[in-house]
Every structure is written in C-alpha cells, then in structure tokens.
Amino acid sequence: MAGVPLQFSEALNLQQLGVPETSIKHGLTSMESDRWIICVEPTQVTMVDLQNGAQVTRRPIQAEAAVMNPTQNILALRSGTTVQIFNLDAKAKVKAHQMPEPLVFWKWTSTSNLALVTATAVYHWKLDDANPPVKMFDRLDKLGPNTQIINYRVSPDGKWCLLGGISAGAGGTVDGNMQLYSMEKKVSQHLTGHAAAFATIKLPGRDDPAHVLCFQGKTAGSAEPPKFFVREIGRDPAKGPPFGITPASIPIPPDAVSDFPVSLVVDPKNDIALLLTKMGYVYMFDIHSGKTIYRARVTQDTVFVTCAQASTGAIFGITVRRGGVLRMQLNGQTLIPYILNTLRDNDLAIKLAGRLNLPGAESLFAAEFERHMSTGNIAEAARIVASSGTALRTPATMSRFQQIPAQPGQVPPLLQYFSVLLETGRLNEQESIEVAKPVLQQSRLPLMEKWLKDDKLQASEALGDLIMPHDVGMALSVYLRAECHAKAIQCFVQRGEYDKIVPYSTSVGFKMDYSSMLNQLLFNNPQGALDLAKGLVNAEGGTLIDIQATAEAFLSSNRVQETTAFLLEALKENKSEHAYLQTKLLEINLIGGAPQVADAIMQQGILTHYDRPHIGKLCERAGMWQRAAEHYTEINDIKRVFKNSHQMNPEFVVSYFSKLNREQSIMLLKDMISRGPQNMQVCVEVAKKYHDELGSEDLVGVFEGARATEGLYYYLGAIVNSSEDPFVHFKYIQSSCMLGQFKEAERVCRDSNIYVPEEVKNYLKSSKLPDPRPLIHVCDRYDYVDELTEYLYLNSLLQYIEVYVTKVSPTKTPMVVGKLFDLGANEDFVKRILMAVGTACPVEELVEIAETRNRLRLLQPWLEANVATGSTEPSTHNALGKIYITLNRDPKSFLLNNMFYDPKVLGPYCESLDPQLAFIAYKKGAGECDEQLIKVSHEHGLYRDLAKYMVERQDLELWAKVLTPEEGKENEEDPQRRQLIDQVVEWALPESTNADEVSCTVKAFMAADLPSELINLLERIVLQGSDFSDNKNLQNLLILTSIRADSTRTAGYIDQLDNFDAKDIALICLSESHMLFEEAFSIYVKFAKPEQTPDKDEQIEMMVLAIGVLVDHMKDLDRAKTYASQCDEKPVWSKLGKAQLENKFPAEAIESFINAEDPSEYVQVCAEANEGEIWAALIPFLKMARKSMQENLIDTELIYAYAKTSNLTEMEKFVSGPNVANIQTIGDRCFSEGLYQAAKILFIGINNNSKLALCHIHLEEYRDAVDAAKKANNVSTWKQVCFACLRAEEFRLAATCGLEVIKYPDHVDDVVVYYSDLGHFGHLISLFEQGIGLDDAHVGIFTELGILYTKHMPEKVMDHCKVFFSKLNVSKVVRACERARLFKPSVYLYMQDKQHDNAVRTMMEYAPCWNHDLFLDSITKVRNAELMYKAVSHYLTLHPMFFTRLMEVLEAGIDHGRVVNILKRTGDWALQLALPYLKIVQKFDVSIINETLHDLYIEDEDYEALRNSIEKFKNFNMIALASTLSSHELLEFRRISAYVYRCNKKWSQSIELSKNDRMWKDSIDTANESEDTEIIEGILRFFCETSEKECFSAALYTCFEHISPDVAIELGWMNGYYNFTMPYIIQTFRRTHQRLKELEVRTAPPAEDNVENDVAASYTNNNLGGFGGVLMLENQPSMGGPMPGVDMSGFGGMMPNGGGMPQMGQMDGGMMMPQMGQM
C-alpha cells in the first residue's frame, strides 16, 4: 500500500497447495522459521519448503503435531505422550522420549533446543546430547489447566523464559497471563498481558547491548486501554540503570474493543515490534521509544502463528483455516514521510531516520545541524551529523568544522566531530584519512590499531599510504581491506612473508611477474625464494612458474638442499609428466653422496613416475640392495641383487615376492635355496606366505629338488592346518614319517578331512610303520575296517585289534567281528573281544551280522550280560525276545512284562508263529502299532478284542480309520466294519461306565457320518434309561442329530426333553442349512414360560427372541403384532417397531415405538418419515423423544416438521425457547428447498447475515440484502448480492457490492466474467476505476483494469501502464495487449519488467513497435543468447545501416565466430559491411574471424594488413593460407606464404619459395631458425652452385652456431671462397681458444683459503650434472657443454638463452660482419 510504512502481501495460500482447511489451525500447522511450514493431516504430514518456491512434500506419517527445526531438516513428531525427533536428510531417528503427561504446547526455541509445555511444567530437550527432557520450571497457578498456552519464548542469551496463555474472562472477555522465569535465579514473575517477545537492541551511549522484554499489558476487568511495555532484563547494576520506557497506550479502534493480541513479533533488523490481534489488526511499535507508528487491519481472519525473517526483517503469519501466508515488512522509503506527514512527530522521525539510515528527514537534519552550529554547540551538531546517516557526512561538513577556530584548552572542533562519529559508527573514506593524519603525526599507533580492529575506519589506498611509513603490518591490513593488491604484496615482501604472496594473489585474481621476483630473491634471500617458489607451484588453478627452469635456477646457485625441497613440493602431486624431474631429484641425491635423502623420498612413496631401472642401478651402486630390488623387474637383475639377500631384512625379502609373478618367484626361490642352508629359513617363510599364489606342488618340487626334507616339513607344517589341498596333507604325512614324526602323522591322519584316504592308506600299508596308529585312524575314519582288520590279523597285531575296538572305535566292533568270522578267528578270541567292549558295541548291527552268519546263539551270554547290567536298549531286548520266542521260553510273559522291546520288531516276528502273541505285542505299542493291530484283528477275526481296544483307546483318528469306508467304496457294505459296529453297540459301549469313553465313541460315530446308528445308540443311552439319561450333552446331541438326519423327530424330542441348551439349539434350527423356524419358535415359547425360566429378564429375552423369529425369519408381521399384544412388553414392541421400520412401514413403526416409549431409532425414524412425507405423524414421536433425550437431530427435525407443515408460529416459539437444534443446518435445508420465509426467520435468530442476504435476494429485497451483506462482510456474500443486483439492473447497489468483492484478488475474475457475460462493459470499467482509488487496492484491480482497457478503450492502455506499472501483473497485461495487437505497450511493459528477451522478440516480430534505441538497450540484457544472433540477422535484413552499432553493443556477449558464419550465409556484401566490426573483434583471436579477414585482405590485395594480422594473431589454418598464397601473382603475398611456412617449421617449403623469388635473406634466416644442419648445408651448397658468394658469406655468419667447420672450409676451398670463408674461420678459432682457457681455469687446483668455494665447486662438479651445471648468461656454447662422466640430459641441453644465435651483424667476439652490400 502506497504511503504507509508497512508493506503487506499474501505470499501464498496453503489451501491452494492442497492442505485441507481442517488442518490449518493452532496445534496442527507450525512455522518455526522462514524455511518450512508444517501441516499435520489425518494420514500424512505436509511440508512446504519456502526456500524452494513453496515446494510441497507429503510424507505418510500419522502424528498429532509436528514442528520443524528452524535451520536444519530435523522434524519433531508428537503422538500422545510420545515425542520423536527425526533427521530427514540422514533418514534416521535422532531421539525419542515418553513424556509423563500430555503436551499442550511445544516450540523450537533455538536450533538445538525443543521446549515442551505440559499442563503443569515446562521442559527443555537438548538436541545435541542423549539426555531426556529437563524440567525447567512449574507453571504458575495463574496459568493453570484452564489456560490455553499460545506462546513460549527464550531470550537470546538463554537466561530468561516467557510462557504466555489466554483464558476465558468475565463478560465474554479473554484474559491474558504470562510467566517470566529467570534461569539464573530460578524464580518466576507473573505478568498480565496476552503477547510478549524478547529483543536485543543497541542503545546510543552504551557499549553493551540491551536485552529487553517487550509485551502488551492489560489488567483483567480494567477499563484502561492496554499498554505497550519495554523493560530491560538481567542488567548488572554495576554497569548502570536498566533501560526502560514509560508504558505507552495502544490505540484500540472503536470496533475492536473486545479484540486481544495473539502474537508479538520483533523485527531484529530495525528494532520494530509488530503486534497482531485476533481480529486481524496489526500495530507497529518503535522499541526504543515505545511509540505506536502505525495501525491497520490487514486481514479478516485470525493469524495464529507467526515468525520473523532475520535477513530482511519481514514478518510472516498464517491465517486460520483460510491458510493465507501473510508477509509484512517495514517500508523504509515511506516510513519517515509517514511519521512527518501523518503522525507529525519530528523527534521520532529524526531518531528513526538516523538509526535506520532512512531517507525523508534530510531537511530536518540540516535544520537541526544549522541551529546547533549557529549556537556553537559543536557536540550536538556532530551528533546530528552522526545520526543523519549519509545525508550530512560530506567534505563540506568537515570543512565547516575545520573552519571553526579551536578554543584554548579545548579539543579542536574537527576532533570533536570525529570523536562523535567514532562513538556512533564507522568513518567514511575521507573522514578516515583526515582523522589519521594528526594521529600518525603524534605516533599514536595503538589508537589507530584499535580503530582498525573495531572497524571504525574505512580502508583505502590513501589511508594505507599514510600508515605505510609508520607500521607496515597495519598498512598491510588496510591494503587488504581496500583490495589494493600491488601494495599488499609489497608489504608481504617487506615483512618477509613470501609464503603468503601466492595464496593472496590467487585468491584475489591479481597477476604479477613472479619470475623476476624469484630471480631477485635467489641471490639475496634463498630461503625466501624457496618459500615463494613453493607458493607458486601450489597456487590454486595450477603452477605459476616453470618447475624445470626454477629447479635449474636453484641448482645453478649450488642450492642442492633448496633444490630438493622445492622439487619435493612441486612434484608432490605425482604427475606422469614430471617423470623426468622425479628421476633427477633422486639422481642428484644418490650420486651426490646423500643416498639417505633419496631413501627417505622413496620410503614415503610420493614419487612413482621416475625411471625405475635407472634409479635401481644407482641404488645398487650405493649398496642399497633392498631399494635396488624394489626397482628391478627383470629376473636376472633381481637374482643378482638377491645374492646379497643375507644382508636384507628377512621381512623385506618375504614381502618382495608379492611383486613377482609365479614363474619369477619359483626361479628366485630355487636360486636362493641352491645357495646354501643360510637361506632356508627365509625360503620357508616365503613358501608359507605365498603358497596360494605359487602353488603347493611347485613349492614342494622346489624343496624336494634341493632334497630339503626338513624345510619341506616346516613349510608344510605351517600350512597344513589351513590348507585344503590333499597333496599338501599327503606330503606332510609323508615328510613326517620320513623324519620319524609319527605323532604328527597320527595327528593329521586323525584330524584332517582333506587328504585322499586311499592314497594315504596305501602309503602307510606299504611303509609298514612300526606304529600302525596312523593307519588305524585312516581306516577307522574312512571305513577301511575290513582291510585294517585283515592287515592287523595277518601281521599278528592282535593286541591292536583289541585296542582298536575298545579304545578307538567300539562302534565298529560288529564289522571287526564279522571280518574275524570270515577269517575263521577263534571263537574265544571273539567272545573276549565282545566282553571287553561290553555295552559300547552296537547291538542291532552285531545281531544282524550274527544272524546272517547263523551265529546268533553265540551272542546270548553277551546279551544277557548286557541286560544284567541294566541295559534298556530295545535292540538288546529284541534279540533276546527272538531267542526266547524261538526257544518257546514263556514268550507271553516276556511280551506282557518286558518294557523295552520294540513291538514293531517282535510283532511281525510273532505273526507267523502265534497271532495272539502278535496282538499282545502290538497292543503293547500304545498306539504306535495300531495299523498292524487292526490288520491282525481283521485277518484273524479278533473283533471283540478290537472293539474293546477301540473304546478304551478313545482316539478319534483311530476310530476314523476303522469306521470310514475306503475311498471309492462308500456305498458298499463292509462286513468287517459292520461286525465291529455291532460289537461296539451291543457289548463294548454298554459295559463302559466311563463318560469319556462314551463321549469319544459318540464323537467318532458323528465324525464317521453314521447318523442312524448314532440315533439308535443315543436313544438306547438317553431314552431307555441309563446312567447318562439326564446328560445335557447327550440330549443336545440327540436333538442335533435328529435335526441333521431326521428332522421329523425333532419336534418330539423338544417336547420330551427338558435339559438341553435352548438358545443354542434354537440358533441351529434357524441356521440357513436347516431353517426349522417353527421348532425354534416352539423352543423360545417353551422356555419363555416361568416353569422353564424363573428369571423375569430371561423370560423377556426369550419373548424378544421369539418375536425375532417371526419378524426376521418368518416375515410374518401380523402374527408378530398379535404375539406382541399378548406379551405386551416394551422390548417386544421395540423389536416389532424396528422390524416395521426396516420393512418400510414408518407409520406402524412410529406407533410401536410410542407403545415401547423407545426413541432410540429416532435417526432412522426421521429419515423414513421424511421419505414418506408424514411430518404430521412424526411430530408426536419427536415430542415423546424430547422427554428423555436432548439430541440435536430431534430438535432439528422437529423444527423442520413445523416448517414443512407451515406451522411457523409453533416453529418460532420453539426456536425462541431452549433447544439444541442445529438451526444453521435446518436453515440451509429450508433455504435449499425454497422455504425462504422459514429460512429468513431461522437466519435472523442466529445472526447469519450471509444466508440472510441470500434470502432477501430470493425475496427480491435487494436493499435489505445489501444491508445484510454489510453486516456479514464476507466476500462470497458480497459477490452473490452483487450478481443478483446486477441481474436486477440495480447498478448502483451492484457497484457498492462489487467494490467490496474486488478487494480480494481471488474473486476479481468472477466479477469480470459476470459483468462481461451480461454485456455491462461500461459499468465494469467504471467499477474498476473506482476500485483503484481504494486504500487497499491490490495488483489485481490495476491489472484487470488494464486488460479491460485493451479490450474496450485501447487509447488508455499506454497511459495506464506508465502510471501504474509497479502495480500491474505484467504477464497478464502483456498477454492482453498482444491479443489486442497493442505491441508498443507490450514492449514497454517487457522492458520495465526486465523481460528483455520478450521485448526484443516482440520488436523483431512486429515492425511497428521497433525502436533502435530501445532495441539496443534491451538486446544487451537478454538471457537467451540466441536472440542476439536473431538480432544480427534482423539488422542485416531490415536495418543494415545500424549493424555496426549493434555489433559494438553486442561485442562482449556474443560468439563472433557464429556471427561470421551468419555474415557468410548472407552474402559477400554483408562481409564488406561488417569489415569494421571484424577488425574490432579480431583482438579475440578467433580462427574464423582471422580467416575471414585474410580472405578480405587477399581479395583487396592489402598485403600489409594481411602481414600485420598474421603477426599479431596466430589462430587460423596457417598451412592452408600458405598453400593459397604460394601461387599468388604478387611477390609480397608469396613472401607472406614463405613466412607462414617458416612460422610452422615447414623449413623446406619456406626456403624453396624464397629461393624461387630470389629472396636470399629470407631463405638464410629460415635455415638458421630451423637449426637443421642438412638444411643449412643445402643452402650453402645452393649458394655455391649459383655463385652467390655474398650470400654464402652471409649464411656462414648467420648460421655460425649450426655449421660444422669442416663443411665450411671444404666448400670454401672447393669453390675458391677463401676471403668469404676467412671471417668464419677466425671466429671459430677464437671460440676454441676461449673454451680451452675456461677449461684450464676450471680444472686448476683450488686456493687453500677459499674452503667454501672449494666445497661448492666440488659439490657442483660431482653432483649437479643432471641440471647442466651453473646457469651462464652469455652465449658461449663451451659453458653449456656436458662434463665428463655426468649425464647432461638434465634440462634439455639448452642454455638460458636457448642456445640461440648472436644478433644479426655482430659475433660473440665483438667482431662486426660486413653488411651484404659491402662484401
């Protein structure tokens, strides 16, 4: 809103994002910060990410409440008393806790603390530890259970807590109470008020911040208006009194007397407090003064949750149910004018303008300043300037203070001015310079340092220059802040902080010449040079120097240590391209006597790309055998080194084999073993470690080949326990036996599962060991018992047989005995073995073996001995049983009395001998042999025994086996089953007196589906007199069986029997499978009599069940009504009424319910009555129901019945009396059915003005409708009344309503559509023209008016856009303009909205709206670069004269190569037109631009321009250009072709062209530059052949460095060119002389007094060969030559000058060559 100090807008709407209305309320929706809004829905939690365009995330989480952490994606969930915290990013639960009581409020008070408020106390739960919530304090009585907690805050310093809540007060008011708690003092204070907030403010004149509490205070029941309080809390009295203001009254509007605050939020950026109320009012307060700045009603809804945005100072709030997210922010541009013009508070305006640096009070500041200056109040004038922001802080103001003369003994005015400014803030650049001058003159550097540390001065280059002579460090800090990079680097150099230069330069993007700086430092400060060089190679973005050249420079100064340190730093990234440097780094240390350095480097493993074979050789020469071995890969080299393996670390030797392949390892191992036993131990270790890789067979072969049995034994012993190779285990057994280690062999044979048993067995048998125990274990484990027994028996090792069966494997005794039987061994020996083994021998197996060999009688003594010892093993007793049965030694007694034999074994054994014995044996099985028992009984006719056994067994499954027919024979008579049934019925069951046996038998008959037999059985038991005649279960069973098998008997049984379960039997009769309704009715009637059921309640229950049979099953309502009359019981009438209601007899049902006095079915009765339209009959029922029930539906339906019967008098009387009717609902119902008079009465009674207005509309009472709409003040009501008035052509009333509707942006379109559909365009435009004058006019009104202008008044569109651009929705208006073909307004709007892409596109597509200046202004700001290229084509086509200007504008942001392609496609005229542009952009050195210009230059024959272009710009296809120019008709172009060939090192083509054109100098220069001796000799011979003597001499001079003297002298001698050759010969001799002289000096013995030079020279001569020696700055090849015995490949053989030739016209010896014209 323009002109007011508060910017207000609706950022988004939660309902539009899909959040249901019911979830947008207190407790379900939370907003802890400006990052997330969390909404809890019934089945999910909705999260709105405000940082990512209100992106909605829904998670299937069921919870009662949820709150998101203010800064992290950590979600707290609450359900009941359980609180859980989840980290959404990590997808993990952080914490969980069960609270002792339910929570009533919770809130994140910081990023690491969650506050939990219960009905009695407040807890804090820390996020960063594992502790449970900690109780902070108890709630005061004033904030008891009846208080709703709506707020909880913690002060920024964490020392104060504030709990706020509301409760119902007297007279319908809402009271507010707050509890302020001190964390330090542990005390609480009660405050009366509704809202409060903590704030931290900076007060003038104080260094420490003030922690204040802002709150609205109002005493309950007091007539005084509420007040705004600001109080400082927690201030130390020693620092002064606390800050506070006089409580200021809050201006409450007349229509909001009952309003109360719901939230107080502080804008921390501006120290402004916003107070929001329930009715939607917002109050703005200045915290420093407590004054009210602004008040407005921003919403009709209640804002229930708020939060502040610290970065902008904005306040967010969410309205209840509607879900509007409101954004409120201080409007700094209008704040001061508003205070001046509206509040007329100059003092407040000055304070806020100064504190917040806001515009609008400049004139006030100036007037105050002049007033104080005129009165000589310097200090106050300075304070005015300080508080004015930047308005008065100008050089002119400083000049004013400088012009004031200083008073004696007082501080000069200018310094007073600066003092005040320093107290209040920071000085600007000019002020900082002026205040620094006198301070530096007085050498008060600590004061300057303090100001800089406190950021009181603005850094600048001039300020740094002032400080530089006094303190370099302080100047450096100033330069760094002012971004004066060159000056800052200069300070680093002066301070010796070379290591900081490169990081700083890189971080700020400053470029400088590091090479020259490095060269200067190299001789003056080598350590500094090293630090700088390290920084240069470690710079971000890559190294800034040539590593090779830098290392050479260090080494040329004899700085080996620095060279090593530098290279280590430079090569630490271990790049492959640095392989040569890595090699040299190690080489200079290995050759130079510092192998320990090289060893340390290699130990670290930081270099891996060096020449490993070469370094290996150097290591071998230095005696570093391990390092040498590490670098060799050839096996011969490795074997040579390993001749010294005894000098190596054994661990290294073992680990070294991991680097070799299998073949190499075997070869090396063989070599090492062959050199003697001293290597045996390490070879064993190698074999142990690498046996998996090398293979056990090969390793065994190595040891066996060297006959190293002991080594083989130790090697195999180390791996045999873990190896799974049978070969290993066999060889270990073999080696153990060979060395006499029989216990080891026995252990492996006993424990190993890997070896091949057959192989080991054969080896051990063939070895005939003196101790056969290994063989015994092998044969025992792998069942070679027969072979073992035979081996031992035949070798007379009988004691080992006995040992084997008694101690090793007694379970194998049967096999041994069987083999002894086969071998014909002595029976006494066998018996002795058996008696020795005793019970440990498996009986069953032994018996089987004995039986097969007919030796069972032999076992009888042994078996009886086992039984005598207490053996209970079934096999023992089975064997004895067989013996006794065979011998007929009282077998029946044995079968009956013995408890240990197995009936399954002896039963079949007895069947062939005696079936009765078999039956006894099977019966002894206790159910395990039932099938065999049944089979024996059937086969031998033992039915009576079987029947008795079946009854006694009481096993239903067994009964099923004998009673159920076989599958496929269900209809056939089974005589065996019939005989069994007869025996059961006639003999077995009647003799039984056990109820369980009877019950089980009956169940069996039932399960076998034998109803007839079962009925006969039950009649005999129940009706014919027995012990079970009165048994209820049997009576139930008899009736149930008759129901199932013969229902004709059921009625008789019901009459005869009295002791059965009536209810259960009746339910079975009623089941769908039987449907015996009459029998069920008879049961209920019989048991409803007093003689059967004494209890009255049970009698009534039976009556209800009886009538239930009639109405629910027999559907006989008349008979039911007769029965109900007979009974005359209310439950019976009620049951009848429900049945009548279900069968759609509402009138009869109402009568029955009235008889029953039962209103319970009032819901269905009302529904049926409404459906049947029997409202008159319904009224008595509802009156009866109201006597016992107070239900909303009853009263509501009674009102509706009055309305439908037009009994409005009774209805009005009922409504005015006490009732619980939902009048709103019934009013809506009457309204929807057209009962408008009744609805009008109802809506008047409940003050529903919205619906009342609609009733007036339908009754055509339009003025009353408008009045009701005003009272309702609801947008939907306004809209409906507006449309109704519009239909009735009540335009004035429609406009009144329309203005209220268009205030809401969401409803503007509806108004426009409705007016437009009726064709009232003029009235519509008039409505919106009135709407833009509203105080709360929004963007939608201005936008829609603009759209209407485009349709109906296009002449007003441009003016409207210009005047109200800031209030338009640009995209909508633009689309409307384009639909109306109004492109100039479209372009204007696009440009104002910074949519330059669309503006440019529109101007190109529609020529009438094109404007050159506007186009240029927009084209540079487009985001889509494609538009620039379209603009190029557009200008070439339509505006070619402006093309160059266009390209000047687009130069920085366009791809010039692509532009050239466009020009080429357009035509040659376009290239000519663009020639100035191409020359301008050639500086970018783009290939296609260069080639295009070359083509134009060639076409224009402008060779000078072409040569200049080639020399300056190299990015083009040189070979193609040279090839093109080589055949050009003009000489200069051919020279250019030769030059291009020369630049591309195409020496032959260049020289050939020059020779063809007789350009001798060009050919000589080209040959010299090639440095190719063949080419140079060729040109010399060419000159000799063509007799070009002068050229021959010039070639000798120019190519002096590359000509062999013998060639020159030979050519001169053969062609007679002595005079022309002599200068070359003289120069050659001079250089030779100089070399010899320098060699003599170098090899001369050193002077004794120059020890340091001697050491340096020695170090250089011996160790620096790899870097070419000392750098020489002269062009003397002799100084660059290699030294004897040292590799000079170091850095390329190039001298610092590149080995280049002398300058033209002068040789090294100072001799001048004659010019070509003088020869």
Residue 294: predicted pLDDT? 93
Task: Look up residue 753 and give its DSSP letter.
Answer: S
1221 Cβ neighbours under 8 A, 6+ residues apart: 1192, 1195, 1196, 1198, 1199, 1215
Whole-angstrom CA distances from 278 to 295, 319, 1319 are 14, 10, 41
User: Residue 458 pLDDT more than 80?
Assistant: yes
Spatial separation of the C-alpha atoms in residues 78 and 76, rounded to whole Å: 7
Task: Place 1707 in a pLDDT band, splitting at 50, 70 and 90.
Answer: very low
Token pair of 625, please?
């055998």
What interhelical angle do 1162-1172 and 1130-1142 show, nearest 10? 40
Spatial separation of the C-alpha atoms in residues 335 and 332, rounded to whole Å: 5
Residue 1703: predicted pLDDT? 35
Spatial separation of the C-alpha atoms in residues 60 and 44, rounded to whole Å: 4
The pairing of strands 210-217 and 196-201 is antiparallel
Mean pLDDT of 727-745: 82
Count Cα atoms within 13 angstroms, Cβ side, for 18: 10
Of 358-362, 622-626, 731-735, the poorest mean pLDDT is in 622-626
User: Residue 109 pLDDT more than 60?
Assistant: yes
Q: What is the mean pLDDT of the chain?
A: 81
Could you report the per-residue pLDDT of 675-713, keeping only the tens digit for each?
A: 777 777 778 878 778 877 878 888 887 777 777 778 878
User: Residue 1605 pLDDT more than 60?
Assistant: yes
Could you report the per-residue pLDDT of 703-712, keeping only the tens digit for each?
A: 777 777 788 7
Residue 1413: predicted pLDDT? 83
Of 1207-1216, 1416-1425, 1681-1690, the poorest mean pLDDT is in 1681-1690
Could you report the per-residue pLDDT of 1308-1341, keeping only the tens digit for each?
A: 888 888 888 888 888 888 888 888 888 778 888 8
How many percent of the chain have pLDDT more than 70? Answer: 92
Whole-angstrom CA distances from 239 to 209, 234, 326 are 12, 11, 41
Token pair of 1348, please?
């209407």
Spatial separation of the C-alpha atoms in residues 342 and 353, rounded to whole Å: 16
Task: Place 1666 in a pLDDT band, splitting at 50, 70 and 90.
Answer: very low
Residue 1669: predicted pLDDT? 35
Sign of the dihedral through C-alpha 1601, 1603, 1608, 1611:
negative
Spatial separation of the C-alpha atoms in residues 1090 and 119, rounded to whole Å: 58
Q: Which residue has the higher pLDDT, 1434 or 653?
A: 1434
Q: Which residue has the higher pLDDT, 1660 or 383?
A: 383
List % helix, strand, coil for the chain (3-state, nearest 5). 60, 10, 30
Instruction: Identify the three-state secondary structure at position 356.
Output: helix
Mean pLDDT of 1607-1621: 86
Spatial separation of the C-alpha atoms in residues 164 and 198, rounded to whole Å: 13
Residue 140: predicted pLDDT? 93
Spatial separation of the C-alpha atoms in residues 1411 and 1120, rounded to whole Å: 98
Q: Are 258 and 281 in contact (CB under 8 A)?
A: no
Task: Place 169 in a pLDDT band, splitting at 50, 70 and 90.
Answer: confident
Token pair of 379, please?
């200090």
Overall residue count recorded for the chain in this entry:
1719
First to last CA, the chain: 95
User: Residue 373 pLDDT more than 70?
Assistant: yes
Spatial separation of the C-alpha atoms in residues 601 and 568, rounded to whole Å: 9
Residue 989: predicted pLDDT? 64
Mean pLDDT of 190-195: 93
Spatial separation of the C-alpha atoms in residues 393 and 401, rounded to whole Å: 12
Whole-angstrom CA distances from 119 to 99, 133, 1448 are 12, 15, 74
Residue 1528: predicted pLDDT? 85
Q: Are 951 and 992 in contact (CB under 8 A)?
A: yes
Token pair of 12, please?
């988004």
Residue 677: predicted pLDDT? 73
Burial of residue 276 (CB within 10 Å: 0-12, 13-18, 19+) is buried
How many CB atoms within 10 Å of residue 1058? 13
Could you report the per-residue pLDDT of 1343-1382, keeping only the tens digit for each?
A: 888 888 888 888 888 888 888 888 888 888 888 888 888 8
Measuring CA to CA, which residue among 922, 971, 913, 924 is closest to residue 942? 922
pTM above 0.75, yes or no: no
Could you report the per-residue pLDDT of 1218-1236, keeping only the tens digit for each?
A: 787 888 888 888 888 888 8
Q: Are 196 and 162 in contact (CB under 8 A)?
A: yes
User: Residue 1709 pLDDT more than 50?
Assistant: no
User: Residue 926 pLDDT more than 50?
Assistant: yes
Spatial separation of the C-alpha atoms in residues 1236 and 1242, rounded to whole Å: 10
Residue 1690: predicted pLDDT? 34
User: Residue 117 pLDDT more than 90?
Assistant: yes
1527 Cβ neighbours under 8 A, 6+ residues apart: none
Mean pLDDT of 903-916: 79
Could you report the per-residue pLDDT of 851-862, keeping only the tens digit for each?
A: 777 777 777 778
Residue 1710: predicted pLDDT? 35
- Beta bridge partners of residue 106, listed in sequence order: 116
